[in-house]
Amino acid sequence: MKTAAANKKIRSRRSLSRNDRFTLAAFIGIPTLMQIIFLWLPALITIILSFTYWNGINVSDIKWAGLANYKNIFFGTPVFYEALKNNIIWLLWFTFLATPLGILLAYQIDRKIKGHKIYETIFYIPVVLSLAIIGIIWNFMLQPGGFVQGVMGRDIGNAVSIWGNYSINTYVIMGVASWRHIGYIMLLYLAGLKSIDSSLREASAIDGATEWQTFRKIILPTMRPVNIIIVVITIIESLRAFDLVYIIYGTSTAWPLLNILVFQNFAGQGISMKGAAYAVILLVLCIGPILLYLRNVFKEDLK
Amino acid sequence: MVQNKEYKNKQKVKDAFISAFIGFFAFVWIFPILWTVWTSLRPYNDIISYGVFSWPRHLNLDNYFHAFRVMGLTHYFLNTLYVTVPAVVLTLFLGSLIAFVVSRYSFRFNLSLLLLFTAGNMLPIVLTYIPVFWLYIKIGDFFGNRSLLYNNYLGIVLVHVAFQVGFATFVLSSYMKTVPKEISESAIIDGASVFRHYWNVMLPLLRPPLAALGVLMSCWIYNDFFWALILMSEDSKRPVTSALRQLQGQYITDFNLLAAGASIVAAPTIILFLVLRKQFVSGLTLGSTKG
C-alpha cells in the first residue's frame, strides 16, 4: 500500500537548511539564467528589432520603424510569397507523402517482416548524417558526371542542370528532404508501436479484420499521443526548413524559404531588420504547433 | 479452421511481397551512401578517362590518406572535439539540475520552469542570431578581449548548451518522475544535504537516460555546421562539418577526394549509431513518446 506521503513531493521547504536553500537556488538559477540570456532574451530583442531600422553595428543607430518592415514584406516583396509557397509545398509534401510513408514503414517493420532489422537500420542512417555531408552526397548523385546524369545517358559535356531547372528542382529538394524525414518519423512511430499490446492485433486478425482495418481502427487510435507529436514535428520541420536548401543554394533566393530570407537579410551584404521581421513571422507560424505540443506533453501537469 | 489456414497462407504471400518491396526501397535509400564510398575508393583519373560507370582498374584507400593530408582533417576533428565534449557534458549537467529540482521538490514555479525550458527547445533558432552575435562581441569588448566568446570554442559551446538543455531537462524530468519517491525520502531522513541527494542518490540512477541523451546530443552537436559558420571568423577554428563545407568549394572538381572526405566525416556518427543503437533510439523516444 502506498502512503499518501510517498505520492506527494517533498514539502519541506521550511525545514531546508540555509545551505540547502542556497544549493537549490544555484541548481535552478544557473541553467535558467543561461537559458534566458542566450535564448529568450535574444528572441525578445529580435521581436523588438523587427519594428526598427538598424544595420546591426551601433546601438545608437537604431531607429523606430513601426510596421514599416512588415509592410515592406507583405506589400513590396514578391519573394516573400514565393518563399511562403515553397514552405507550404514542403508542408504538404511532408504531410501527405513523407510522414505517412514513415508511418507505413514503421507499421510493416513492427510486424517483423523478413529483414526488418536491416531495413530499420538502413532507413535511419540518413538521419544521423550531417546536412553538410548530405549536400555532398547528393551533389555526387546529381551533378554533371554523377550517377543520375550517367543513368540518363548524359556525360559531362551535355549534362542537364538539375538544381537550376525550375520544373524539377522542387521535386529533387523534396526527395532529398524526405530521404531524412521518413527515417526519423519511422523511428519515432516504431517506438510507440512497440508499446502496443500485440494481443490486440492478433485478436483483430482472428476476427477477420483486414490489415488496413486493423491499422485504422486499432493502431491509429491507440497511438494518439505519438500521432500528435508527429504532426507537430512535421509542421515545425516544414516551417523552419533551411539547412538543406542553404547547402544547395546558399543565401541566394533561387528556391526561397522563409528561413532563407531571414539569413539573406542577416548574413548577406548588409544587415537589415527585415530579417528580424521574417524571423518573427516564422515564430508566429510556429506558435500554434508549439502550444499543441506543450499541451499534449504536459497534459497531466496542467490539470 | 480451414479458413484461418487459408488466411494465414495468403498473408504469408503478401508479407513476402511487402518485404521485397520495402527491400527495394531500402536499396534505393542506402544507394547514395554506397555510391559515395565506391567513388571514394577510385582514383580521379580512372573516372576522367573511363567514365563514371567504368569497371574499376584501381581500388585503394589513396583518397582517404590524401584527404587526411591535404584537407587537414585531423586538425578539424580536434576542433569538433573541443566543442562537442564540453557542450554535451554541460548540457547534461545543467539539464539534470533542473530536472532534479522540478521532480523532487514542489515549488510553485516548477511547471513554468519546465515550460520555459521545453518551449525554448522549439523556438526557431534564427530568432536569436543577431542579438547573440552582438552580445558576444559586446561581452568580449567589455572584458577587453573581443574573442572571448566570438570566434572562440566557448561561444559555440554556450549556444549549443542553451539550445539543447531544454530537451535534456524535459527527457530527464520525465524519467525522474518514474523513480520512486521513497528513495529520496530515505535520503532526506538520513540527513543528506540537497547536494548529496542530487549527486550520490539521484545522479547514479539517471545513468540510462544520461547515456541515451549523451549519444544523441553528441551526434547532433557533431553534425551542426551552422553556428560555427556564424560565430567563428577563422576557418582554422571551425569544426569538421563546417570545414567540409568550405572544402567542398575548394575541391569541387576532384570528387573522389571529396567523397573520401565526406565518408571520413560521416563515419563517427554512423558507427556511433550502429554500436549504440539502443541508446540512440531510447534517447529520441524518451523525449517524444512520454505518456
B75-134 pLDDT per residue, tens: 999 999 999 999 999 999 999 999 999 988 888 888 899 999 999 988 988 899 889 988
Is the Cα torsion angle B55, B59, B62, B63 positive or negative in sign? positive
Tell me, what's the pLDDT at A2? 42
Does residue B150 belong to the interface with chain A, where contact is any CB pair within 8 Å?
Answer: no
- Of A8-17, A200-209, A214-223, B23-32, which gets the smallest average pLDDT? A8-17
- The answer to whether B151 touches B233, Cβ cutoff 8 Å, is yes
ipTM confidence score: 0.86
Cβ of B165 within 8 Å of Cβ of A130? The answer is no
Q: Quick count: other Cβ atoms within 10 Å of Cβ B151?
A: 17
Which B residues, 168 through 187, put their C-beta within 8 Å of a C-beta on chain A?
Answer: 169-170, 180-182, 184-185
Q: A234 or B188: which carries more pLDDT confidence?
A: A234
Q: A139 or A303: which carries more pLDDT confidence?
A: A139
Q: Quick count: other Cβ atoms within 10 Å of Cβ A13?
A: 12
Cβ of A124 within 8 Å of Cβ of B39? The answer is no
CA distance A254 to B29: 27
Which A residues, 94 through 133, put their C-beta within 8 Å of a C-beta on chain B?
Answer: 105, 108-109, 111, 113-115, 118-119, 121-126, 128-133
CA distance B40 to B145: 43
Q: Is pLDDT at B234 greater than 90 in this prediction?
A: no
Does residue A292 belong to the interface with chain B, where contact is any CB pair within 8 Å?
Answer: no
Q: Is pLDDT at B287 greater than 70 in this prediction?
A: no
Is the Cα torsion angle A264, A268, A274, A280 positive or negative in sign? positive
- Phi then psi dihedrals of residue B81, to 5 deg: -60, -45
CA distance B224 to B91: 16
- The answer to whether A46 touches B127, Cβ cutoff 8 Å, is yes
Which B residues, 216 through 275, put their C-beta within 8 Å of a C-beta on chain A?
Answer: 219, 222-226, 230, 241-242, 244-245, 248, 255, 258-259, 261-262, 265-266, 269-270, 272-274
CA distance B40 to B32: 12
Residues B150-204 pLDDT 10s? 999 999 999 999 999 999 999 998 888 888 888 888 888 888 888 999 999 899 9
Q: B187 or A42: which carries more pLDDT confidence?
A: A42
CATH 1.10.3720.10 fits A78-302, yes or no: yes
Taking only Cα atoms into account, the Rg of chain B, rounded to an integer number of angstroms, comes to: 25
Tell me, what's the pLDDT at A269? 66
Cβ of B52 within 8 Å of Cβ of A140? The answer is no
Q: Specify which residues A10 forms β-bridges with.
A: B105
Q: Is pLDDT at A205 greater than 60 in this prediction?
A: yes
CA dihedral B40, B43, B47, B49 (to 10 degrees): 180
Residue of chain B whose alpha carbon sits nearest to that of A59: B134
Residues A67-102 pLDDT 10s? 999 999 999 999 999 999 999 999 999 999 999 999
Mean per-residue pLDDT of chain A: 86
Cβ of B52 within 8 Å of Cβ of A39? The answer is no
Is the Cα torsion angle A210, A216, A219, A221 positive or negative in sign? negative
Model confidence at A7, pLDDT cuts 50, 70, 90, reads very low
Tell me, what's the pLDDT at B86? 97
Q: Is pLDDT at A4 greater than 60 in this prediction?
A: no
Of B15, B162, B244, the CB nearest to A38: B162
Tell me, what's the pLDDT at A251? 80
Cβ of A126 within 8 Å of Cβ of B23? The answer is no
- Of A195-204, A268-277, B203-212, B275-284, which gets the smallest average pLDDT? A195-204
Cβ of B284 within 8 Å of Cβ of A275? The answer is no
Q: Which of B116, B186, B279, B289 to mutate to test the interface with A (most CBs of A within 10 A)?
A: B289
CA distance A277 to A288: 18
Taking only Cα atoms into account, the Rg of chain A, rounded to an integer number of angstroms, comes to: 25
Cell of A30: 544557473
3-state secondary structure of A1: coil
Of A19, A145, A283, the CB nearest to B52: A145
Of B35, B129, B184, the CB nearest to A266: B129
Of B30, B162, B223, the CB nearest to A130: B223
3-state secondary structure of A52: strand
Does residue A267 belong to the interface with chain B, where contact is any CB pair within 8 Å?
Answer: yes
3-state secondary structure of A11: coil
Tell me, what's the pLDDT at A1? 39
- The answer to whether A42 touches A216, Cβ cutoff 8 Å, is no
Tell me, what's the pLDDT at A93? 96
Tell me, what's the pLDDT at B34? 93
- The answer to whether A255 touches A173, Cβ cutoff 8 Å, is yes
Q: Which residues of A touch B127 (CB under 8 A)?
A: 42-43, 46-47, 279-280, 282-283
CA distances from A124 to A107, A136, B20, B181, B274 (A): 15, 18, 18, 37, 10
The owner of cell 518514474 is B178
CA neighbours closer than 13 Å in the CB half-sphere of residue A213: 9
CA distance B65 to B261: 10
Distance, CA of B62 to chain centre: 29
Q: Is pLDDT at A208 greater than 90 in this prediction?
A: no
Tell me, what's the pLDDT at A240? 87
Cβ of B131 within 8 Å of Cβ of A46? The answer is yes
Does residue B118 belong to the interface with chain A, where contact is any CB pair within 8 Å?
Answer: yes
- The answer to whether A10 touches B184, Cβ cutoff 8 Å, is yes
Segment B50-73 shows an average pLDDT of 81
Residue of chain A whose alpha carbon sits nearest to that of B256: A140
Tell me, what's the pLDDT at B91? 96
Which A residues, 33 through 52, put their C-beta within 8 Å of a C-beta on chain B?
Answer: 34-35, 37-43, 45-47, 49
Q: Is pLDDT at B290 greater than 50 in this prediction?
A: no
Q: Is A271 left (phi over 0), alpha (psi -120 to 50) or beta?
A: beta
- The answer to whether A222 touches A200, Cβ cutoff 8 Å, is yes
Does residue A248 belong to the interface with chain B, where contact is any CB pair within 8 Å?
Answer: no
Cβ of B194 within 8 Å of Cβ of A195? The answer is no
Cell of A160: 542537364
